Structure 1
Amino acid sequence: MGGDDEDERDEDDHDDERGIEREYSRRRKMSRGRFVALCIVQGNFALQMARPDSIPGRYRLLAVALMALLGVWALLAVRRGRTTVGADGVSTRGAFRVRRWAWHDIYDLRVETDPRRRSTDVKSLTYLYENDGRRAHLPHLDDWQLPDVWAEVADLHTAAARHRGMTWERRPATEVRIRERAAHRKARERAAVGAMLVLFTAIGYLVWTVTVDDGHRLLAFFLLPGAPLTAYALLVTFFRLRSSRTPAHA
């Protein structure tokens, strides 16, 4: 009995030493390869905008404004993005948005590796799952910013147990909702890819009409917002119906 009490005290001392109050923000900069790729993309954009025969001035100004807004958003997301863990729960902060979850509303914290990220800096991300199966990404709690993100999340499970008031057990109903939401999320991702292809086609058609200056320019302007949105709605419906006919695996 005495040995068990000493072991429990040792675990409590370890929890107190690590603490539940933690903040995860950017510790490492992007890799050299990713930085070079970003420079190439920005350089190509600047080259295209500098060409006098590329696109008319008003469209060039719109493209520059959109790129500038995207750059500001990315900078704020990097500078302000963070995940905070405390006795009350978990909170995340992005470029403009702050979200908070109490421990009793959190179903699980999971590290997930995406095979599509093999060529990127970050391959394993941490997600917070709510009791209804919704998930949220936890910024900077990943394998790029942390040497062992799996051990860190496991330690968070242990440290948060006393504040959560319940064990981290799996609940079948919640697992089913997680799989359903994952299927819907994949449907949205596939539909977004299809909508982007339609958008690029509409942009190409718009550029062609501006170049030849024919009577279809007004039609191109209507296609630019309408065609991608219509394609997205149709593809989401199609992929959701397709996933609903696929048997779920435990």
Structure 2
Amino acid sequence: MGGDYEDDRGDVRGIEREYSRRRKMSRGRFVGLCIVEGNFALQMARPDSIPGRYRLLAVALMAVLVVWAVLTVRRGRTTVGADGVATRGAFRVRRWAWHDIYDLRIEARPGQRSADVKSLTYLYDNDGRRARLPHLDDWQLPDLWAEVADLHTAAARHRGMTWERRPAVEVRIGERAAYRKAQERGITWALIVFFAALTCLLWETAVDDGPHTFLFLLLIGAPLATYGLLTPLFRRRYTRALAHA
């Protein structure tokens, strides 16, 4: 995070700040990742696990995931300045001017009792869309709530408006949250179906000369069909719950 200084209004912190990785992941998460990667390496090393061409594809996919994760951690950052807020991920940079920003909000991660990060900070624009601010969380910062409150105060004069709630934007935020939850549930069920189909594929490979073409179609088509059918149902469910809230 950028060093402290005093601006022309006597604000000791100022508005120019950068949030990047300051603390490494916890020991528990590191051990968990080592177990997952070790098991993957063990399965790939077994000569009777899966055919060579599929093993090569699995290794390539894992390599892509590892490179993406490393770049996300090392390059990821949130920059705050007089012009607005910018975020950087593994390959993408996004920017918002202060007059396009509706709010900065801290949101807890449900069910993450022992995770490194329990609370994240999100930027909401005037259309209700949200974006996570990398490394602006309770793992990297000792007092996240005080930091975000200080950001609100320091940014007030650059926005040209107060941080008051607007009902129309709040409605859009709720609608987008319902759609986002529906997508998450749809993806979860699609992954369940995918791994079930993958288990069938591996079993067929182990007990027979090779998997049938039908199983390859099932591996791709069944998860997509599950997502396409369940996501609209979940969206209607969450939208009705929002309307009755």
| TM-score with structure 1 setting the length | 0.92
Cα deviation for residue 216 of structure 1 reads 6.2
Q: Which residue of 1 aligns with 2:125?
A: 130
Task: State the shift of 1:223 in Å.
Answer: 1.2
Structure 1, residues 177-218: CA drift from partner, whole Å, max 9, x if none? 111111111111111110000100111121122223378610
Which structure dedicates a bigger proportion of its chain to helix? 1
> Partner amino acid for 1:125?
L
SS class of match (1:85): strand
Among candidates 106, 129, 139, match of residue 144 of structure 1: 139
Q: Between Structure 1 and Structure 2, whose CA radius of gyration is higher?
A: 1
Residue in 1 that maps onto 2:76: 81
C-alpha RMSD of matched pairs (Å): 1.7
**Alignment partners' CA distance in 2, 1:210 and 1:131:** 52
- What is the number of equivalent residue pairs in this alignment? 239
Question: What TM-score does the superposition give when structure 2 sets the normalisation length?
Answer: 0.93
Residues 1:129 and 1:44: Cα distance change in structure 2 (over 3 Å):
same
Matches within 5 A, 1:1-250: 12-13=9-10, 15=11, 17-213=12-208, 217-248=212-243
* Shift in Å, 1:219: 0.5
Instruction: Give the aligned residue type for 1:12.
Output: R
Identity %: 76
What's the CA shift for 1:245? 2.3
Structure 1, gaps ≥5 residues long: 1-10
The 3-state SS of whatever aligns with 1:245 is: helix
User: Is the Cα–Cα contact under 8 Å of residues 24 and 139 in structure 1 kept in the other structure?
Assistant: yes
Q: Secondary structure at the match of 2:150?
A: helix
Post-superposition offset of 1:62: 0.8
Could you say if the C-alpha distance between residues 249 and 129 of structure 1 is closer, same or farther in structure 2, counting changes exceeding 3 Å? Answer: farther
Contact kept? 2:129, 2:176, Cα under 8 Å: yes
AA aligned opposite 1:222? L
Q: How many Å separate the matches in 2 of 1:178 and 1:149? A: 22
Give the match's secondary structure for 2:87: strand
The answer to whether the Cα contact below 8 Å between 2:48 and 2:206 also exists between their aligned partners in 1 is no
Distance in 1 (alpha carbons) for counterparts of 2:214 and 2:116:
42
Any unmatched runs of 5+ in structure 2?
Answer: 1-7
Which moves more between the two structures, 93-102 or 208-217? 208-217
* Structure 1 contact 128–137 (Cα < 8 Å) conserved: yes
**Equivalent-residue separation in structure 2 for 1:249 and 1:98 (angstroms):** 38
- Equivalent residues of 1:179, 1:248 under 8 A apart: no
Say which SS state the counterpart of residue 145 (structure 1) adopts. Answer: coil
